[in-house]
Amino acid sequence: KVQRESFQKLGRHATAEEIASALNISTDKLREYLTASRTAISLNKQVGDEKETELGEILASDAASPEKLLSQELLSQDVAKFLEPLTPIQRQVLTLNFGLENDQHFNLAQIGQQLNLSRERIRQIQVKAISILRHRQSDMQEYLID
């Protein structure tokens, strides 16, 4: 903060002496603080009240957070409920086309091959299904992004 304020006031970066003076500490103490703030910390360092947990265990991991997993599960349940008025084939066409189960999207021709129907018939089924769902879009409003 002092560095930023000094830069704004002076138009240049403050020297260590100027920063130490602004903080009412010695330049040696300032250097000590700056060195300590740059010191690497081992991920194996024991932390917590009981010192039973390693720092590496509590840092963010690539795994989805419990909140994200819950949100995804609730979304899946709401999507399934939203698709209930559709016929099984309509649900299947939308699920395959939009990758609702596994993020794997198929085009209409690919879906037609899987279901042994023409691409045009799959398109008609999709159009009808979307028409039905348009009337229920308020059920999914909370998931829509502005």
pLDDT bin (cut points 50, 70, 90) of residue 115 is: very high
The CATH class of the 83-143 domain is: mainly alpha
Q: How far is CA 97 from CA 66, 89, 94, 112, in A?
A: 28, 12, 5, 11
Q: Rounded distance, CA 113 to CA 52, Å?
A: 57
Which pTM does this prediction carry?
Answer: 0.52
The gap from C-alpha 45 to its chain's centroid, in whole angstroms, comes to 28
What contacts 24+ positions apart, CB below 8 Å, involve 91-98? 91/129, 93/122, 93/125, 93/126, 93/129, 94/126, 94/129, 94/130, 97/126
CATH number of 2-58: 1.10.10.10
Cα 128 to Cα 112: distance, rounded to the nearest angstrom: 16
Report pLDDT for 101. Answer: 85
If one compares 47 and 110, the residue with the highest pLDDT of the two is: 110
> Which tens digits make up the pLDDT trace of 70-94?
778 888 888 888 899 999 999 999 9
Domain boundaries, the chain: 2-58, 83-143
